[in-house]
Amino acid sequence: MSYSKKERLSNLALTLHNTFPELDTLQINNIHKPLIICDADEVIFDFMNSFEKFLHSNSLHFSWNSYALDGNILNDKKKAISKNEIHEIIQNFFKKKTTSMELVKDASYSLRALADRFNIVILSNIPFQFYEKRKKALIKYNLNFPFFANKGPKGKAVKHISKIYKGDLWFIDDSPYQVKSVKLETEKTNTILFISNKKLERLMNNKNYGDFFSNTWKKNVQIISTRKNNL
């Protein structure tokens, strides 16, 4: 069968999901258990505290003026560094610190406890070249769940998972932008905006993104368990 160029391009667009590895490789162990899709930075790994220390060691600091990296990383002259410089510092950070980042309080214990009753998938916007380092860190903390690196909004990836897996879905992320993206693509996915870092929480003017807001893993477990029992 031959395809026109236009058809071939649209077929390609359907198979590219901006994840590594491709989501088609995802295997769900127990289809009767609901599935939790869990972010990594700031949800499992204590990103901001590690990143702030890394900035200090590079004569930079974070100004905590808003919920974004852009505009908040200042040099020793108190001037915000450029987007290119931010990209570079993030790349260096992941290169040097991915395997040594500490965990968010109760993350490992809670996820391992939830794994008795839920399937767990980790979906993290870490640059693809650091996939193996992150995998190593997850194994180190006994969190060897299926792990996918993602690029850009996560809504498309979650929608794709919802096609592979028909059961109840949960999504946990610290980014309002990602929670919005998921709700936009798959309305029925239960979402938790989870911000455990107190300084970040103070910068959130609006916490009403998605279905639930939480600032501890204890609360995440409570929300997920209660909702499940009510189904």
* List of residues contacting Mg ion (CB under 5 A): 39, 41-42, 174
> Which lies closer to Mg ion via its Cβ, residue 119 or residue 124?
124
Smallest separation, CB 105 to Mg ion (Å): 16
> Which lies closer to Mg ion via its Cβ, residue 39 or residue 46?
39
Q: SS3 string of the chain?
A: CCCCHHHHHHHHHHHCCCEECCHHHCCCCCCCCCEEEECCECCCECHHHHHHHHHHHCCCEECCCCCCCCCCEECCCCCECCHHHHHHHHHHHHHHHCCCCCECCCHHHHHHHHCCCCEEEEEECCCHHHHHHHHHHHHHCCCCCCEEEECCCCHHHHHHHHHHCCCCEEEEECCHHHHHHHHHHCCCCEEEEECCCHHHHHHCCCCCCCCEEECCHHHHHHHHHHHHHHC
> Which lies closer to Mg ion via its Cβ, residue 41 or residue 46?
41
- Residue of closest CB approach to Mg ion: 41
> Which lies closer to Mg ion via its Cβ, residue 33 or residue 148?
148
Smallest separation, CB 68 to Mg ion (Å): 13
Smallest separation, CB 40 to Mg ion (Å): 7
> Which lies closer to Mg ion via its Cβ, residue 146 or residue 167?
146
Smallest separation, CB 140 to Mg ion (Å): 19
Smallest separation, CB 82 to Mg ion (Å): 23
Smallest separation, CB 165 to Mg ion (Å): 22
- CB-side neighbour CA atoms (13 Å) of 215: 8
> Which lies closer to Mg ion via its Cβ, residue 33 or residue 210?
210
Please state the length of the chain: 231
